[in-house]
A and B are shown apart, each in its own frame.
Chain A
Amino acid sequence: MSEAIDEIDRAIIRATQAGLPLTPRPYHDVAERLGLPPEEVMTRLRAMQARGVIRRLGAVPNHYKLGYQANGMTVWDVPDEWVDELGARVGGLDSVSHCYRRPRHLPDWPYNLFAMVHGRSREDVEAEVRRIAALLGEYDRGRAVLYSTRILKKTGLRIAE
């Protein structure tokens, strides 16, 4: 995957990862700062979008400020042979923002399916947990919901300057 981006892409990423300039011609302003032709910056951004290096382009909301103050990391023990199909279905629920398969660490940690659930309250999150449990049916062999009690660090992902 690393061949997917080169040094010019990295320069564009560094210049835009904290946000686009709020000016009428933002890509032109980024290009000027980097000493690149605007067309090249736009072409490269479009290419990164097409390759999935850019997941999404737009407004990134702060969940808490929008009233989504409860977030529960729900974790599930489902049979490995069904995890892909079940993961796709759980990931399709509106309240689920991330859904991944991760390794178990037996015996302490039997869970292999992670779904991050956002709600306005813990009751909302619990209701979503029941909905996921119903969707999983007999494949739900055990679960836990881990609420965050404190943010210890949040710097975000950044590629270095």
Chain B
Amino acid sequence: MNDRERTIVNGLQGGFPICERPFLAAAERLGLAEEELIEGLRGLLEQGVLSRFGPLYHAERLGGALTLAALRVPEAEFERVAAVVNGFPEVAHNYARDHALNMWFVVATERPERKDEVIRAIGAATGLSVYDMPKLAEYFVGLRLEV
């Protein structure tokens, strides 16, 4: 990563302005030209250093429901269960983790009442009990990574 890219990654993880020429305004703050900032961002996205450039939306405030759920999957059935869980379009992420509860996934639904239906359906389709762990309070979300 070159100096310009580092400046962009460190300086633009939030606070991008909403105005007619936002890249111009942000570039001035970073000591860059508008075109340098746009080209820099294009390169960072192409390299995959940035996964996205734009608004990060707050899923629950979009009116839907979101939960984290876990399963205790017998090792021999892991791939079958992963395929069943991943087959639900409402499952946004799914990770294998090194614990007795070894499969952890996020269920996100547009209609709030659909969330419990999906949890029940996953239980029925896998034959396992689903540990539903909706967030009860949020203390912090966000991370500034220095490079």
Residues of A within 8 A of B (CB): 1-2, 4-5, 10, 13, 16-20, 22-28, 38, 42, 45-46, 48-49, 51-63, 65-68, 73, 83-84, 87-88, 90-92, 96-103, 105, 108-109, 118, 144, 146-157, 159-160
CB-based contact B44/A83 at 8 Å: no
A59 to chain B, nearest CB (A): 5
Residues of chain B touching chain A, judged by Cβ–Cβ distance below 8 Å, are: 8-9, 12-16, 18-24, 34, 38, 41-42, 44-45, 47-64, 66, 68, 70, 72, 82, 85-86, 91-101, 103-106, 108, 110, 112, 131-143, 145, 147
Determine whether the beta carbon of B20 is less than 8 Å from that of A28: yes
Chain B min CB distance to A15 (Å): 10
In the complex the two chains form, what is the Cα distance from A31 to B49 in whole Å?
A: 28
Contact A91 B139 (CB under 8 A): yes
Interface contact A4-B63, CB-CB below 8 Å = yes
Residues of B near A147 (CB, < 8 A) are 97-98
Give Cα distance in the complex from A92 to B82, angstroms.
Answer: 34
**5 pairs of A and B residues whose beta carbons are closest in the complex:** A91-B140, A2-B63, A91-B139, A97-B143, A87-B139
A78 to B141 CA separation, bound complex (whole angstroms): 20
Dominant secondary structure of chain B at its interface with chain A? mixed
Cβ–Cβ < 8 Å partners of A100 in chain B: 135-139
The answer to whether A60 and B50 touch (CB under 8 A), given A38-B20, A66-B147, is: yes
Q: Which of A22, A61, A149 contacts B51 (CB 8 A)?
A: A61
Collect the chain A residues with CB atoms within 8 Å of residue B13's CB.
Answer: 56, 58-61
CB distance from A34 to the nearest CB of B (A): 15
Given contacts A52-B61, A55-B142, A147-B97, 10 further A-B contacts (CB under 8 A): A18-B52, A22-B42, A51-B61, A55-B141, A73-B97, A100-B136, A146-B97, A152-B105, A157-B57, A159-B62
Minimum CB distance partner of B42 in chain A: A22
